[in-house]
Chains A and B, each alone.
Chain A
Amino acid sequence: MSTIEIVPEQERGEFRRRFLRNQNAVIGGALVAVAVLTALFATSLAPHSYTETNMLLVWGEPDAAHPLGLDSLGRDILSRILIGARVSLGVAAAVLTLTLALGTAIGMAAAYFGGWIDTVAMRVADIILAFPELIFAILLAAVLGPGILTVVLALAITWWPGVARLARSLVLGLRHEAFVEAAVASGTRPAAILLRHFLPNIVAPLIVRASIGVGFIITAEATLSFLGLGVQEPTPSWGGMIRDGLTVMRTDPYLAISASAVLGITILGFNLLGDGLRDLLDPRARDR
């Protein structure tokens, strides 16, 4: 009895030790923690309202009250960057949730039922993967019209195939396990088998796999917003702020520079953490 309980405990300790020894993972984890906390407490941290305009202080230089200066409408840049963290991570979380739900459901159904369901699902996934990265998202944004909901939908539609393929292969690997065959033999309905027997066994690798992509999702949202196809004013988004700032680079570089720095560091944090997690989980890839 005791040995059975000790093994996972040791494994968890081993994982924690290896995580802490992995410099990338630790630095990335710290950056991600700061970003997530900023996003959660953005409204309390922001010194000013992110929509409050002041036409007398348009493109104001940084001072004590406005550490990063003011933008084209006299809005506090620091406050908008802080709220921007909430927008950026919020969109990423929504896309991640949707991608996981969609990808897992489709991948599991394809693997379990096989036949034409499998064929159709995997061919649709192939078609989406055949487009260059983001082109599909830009196309959808053009059709649906710009906006935060469009961004979430477009990115989820672009990203589910990866998750679906993984879910499919995981289910295929488990299909002939004894506990599945026992469930089938005892007449359990397919839906129940998928939800109660497969899902708990494949959910952890799926979440990890999807989390590794968060850096890319944040980049994609910022890119769409930069192009004007994503988050719309007055909601602040780092991509949109960089676009506005780039046009006045000669006279007022604070907006573009500070938004770029924050965006770059946030994505770096997620990528470092993702790399670290991948190294820890796949020993063969440790050198990559």
Chain B
Amino acid sequence: MPGDPIGAMLSDRSGDAALEQRLRAAYGLDAPVLEQFATYVRGVVRGEFGLSYRFVGVPVVDVLRDSLRISPLLALSALLIAVPLGVTAGALAALRHNRWADTSIMAVMIAGISVPNFASAAFLVYLLAVRLNALPVAGWGTARQAVLPVIVLALQPTAYIARLARAFMLEVLAQDYIRTARAKGMRERIVILRHALPNILVPLLTTIGVIFGTLLTATFVVETIFNIPGLGRQAIQAIFARDYPVTTAVLLLFTFFYAGINLVVDLLYGVIDPRIRLERRR
């Protein structure tokens, strides 16, 4: 890694050996590398990530405190829109299999997956904020300012979930128990809602972890576009300011979130699907 952070902090006072000595000690940079690493790991376990290089003497935790709530909130809001919307679109497409509704829904969805979020952000900002003047271009703090970022974040997950939901639904609709339900004269609405839908939720759940991971990465981009003071933008700014403690802390946090969500998903299987519970008991 290039650059000596202490040298950068001293800048025009670079001759001041006593100050340099004190800063090195405060940042623990005077210890051997392995000891520095051990100290860092011990700190992380206690929820401390050392001191920021850019804001001299300020703990990383304080730099990130306000951001810590923003990024997960954005990602979860997007997920709350994407899951119902994606499942509905996918299920509708499957019920109209190979007819024009199916084809057109799927055409929109593959476009939705393909167009990167910053490109769709450009279109949406132009249309909704510049042309129609309906929403603010950027910023953070009001509900209106949150609309565009959340929509942009939700687009790709919605499309991804819709494609999966369609595939799972087609598989479920071909099962014997669906034919049985229909054969005994059950109303189609009940067949779909009570018999088919619950059975596509379990395989969909397995993908929520992956989707949450892509959403976390997407917050880097969306927070940069809309000037939102979240973890993603903090990390990017820290990279350019060579504030390695902040960068490392954000990337570590994102990896923890990701692993945490995947763990929760794994545990939820048993709760949601009785078959998996029975399997385990055997």
**Which residues of chain A have a CB within 8 Å of any CB of chain B?**
24, 130-135, 138-139, 141-143, 145, 215, 219, 222-223, 226-229, 239, 242-243, 245-246, 249-250, 253, 256-257, 259-261, 263-264, 267-268, 271-272, 275, 287-288
Q: How many whole Å from B221's CB to the nearest CB in chain A?
A: 6
B130 to nearest A CB, angstroms?
6
How far does the alpha carbon of A142 sit from the alpha carbon of B251 in the complex, in Å? 11
Within 8 Å by CB of A223, from B116, B121, B122, B123, lies B116
Q: Taking CB as reference atom, which chain A residue is nearest B169?
A: A287
Contacts of B120 in A (CB 8 A): 260, 264
- Residues from chain B with a CB closer than 8 A to the CB of A261 are 119
* Cβ contact within 8 Å between B213 and A256: no
Contacts of B167 in A (CB 8 A): 287-288
In the complex, are the beta carbons of A267 and B255 less than 8 A apart?
no
Task: Specify the main secondary structure of chain B where it touches its partner.
Answer: helix
A228 and B113 alpha carbons, distance in the complex (Å): 23
Inter-chain contact A249/B116, CB cutoff 8 Å: no
Q: Which residues of B contact A223 (CB under 8 A)?
A: 116, 118, 217, 220-221
What is the size, in residues, of chain B's interface with A at 8 Å between Cβ atoms?
42
CB neighbours of B1 from chain A (8 A) = 143
Q: Is the CB of B110 within 8 A of A239?
A: no
In the complex, chain B residues 238-280 whose Cβ is within 8 Å of any chain A Cβ:
239-240, 244, 247, 251, 254-255, 258-259
Distance between A228 CB and nearest chain B CB, rounded to angstroms: 7
**Contact check: which of B114, B126, B236, B239 meets A215 at CB < 8 Å?**
B114
Judge whether B213 and A226 touch: CB under 8 Å: no
B251 touches A139 (CB 8 A): yes
Kindly identify which residue among B2, B110, B216 contacts A135, using a CB–CB cutoff of 8 Å. B216
Q: Are A288 and B163 closer than 8 Å at their CB atoms?
A: yes
* Also in contact, A249 and B125, with CB within 8 A (given A142-B239, A229-B239, A264-B119): yes
CB proximity of B99 to chain A, nearest CB, Å: 14
Asked if B63 CB lies within 8 Å of chain A CBs, one says: no
CB-defined contacts of A145 to chain B, threshold 8 Å:
2
CA distance A222 to B114 in the complex (A): 12
Q: Do B126 and A287 have beta carbons less than 8 Å apart?
A: no
> In the bound complex, do residue A250 and residue B130 qualify as a contact, i.e. CB atoms below 8 Å apart?
yes
Which 3 A-B pairs have CB atoms at the shortest separation, nearest pair first?
A132-B213, A260-B119, A264-B115
Chain B residue numbers with a CB within 8 Å of A259 are 119, 122
Residues facing A in B157-215 (CB within 8 A) are 163, 166-167, 170, 213-214
B137 cross-chain contacts in A, Cβ below 8 A = 249-250
Bound complex: CA A134 to CA B225 (Å): 18
Expressed in whole angstroms, the minimum distance between the Cβ of A108 and any Cβ of chain B is 27
A-B pairs with beta carbons under 8 Å apart, 13 shown? A130-B259, A132-B258, A133-B217, A139-B251, A142-B239, A222-B116, A226-B221, A227-B221, A249-B122, A249-B129, A260-B119, A264-B120, A272-B110
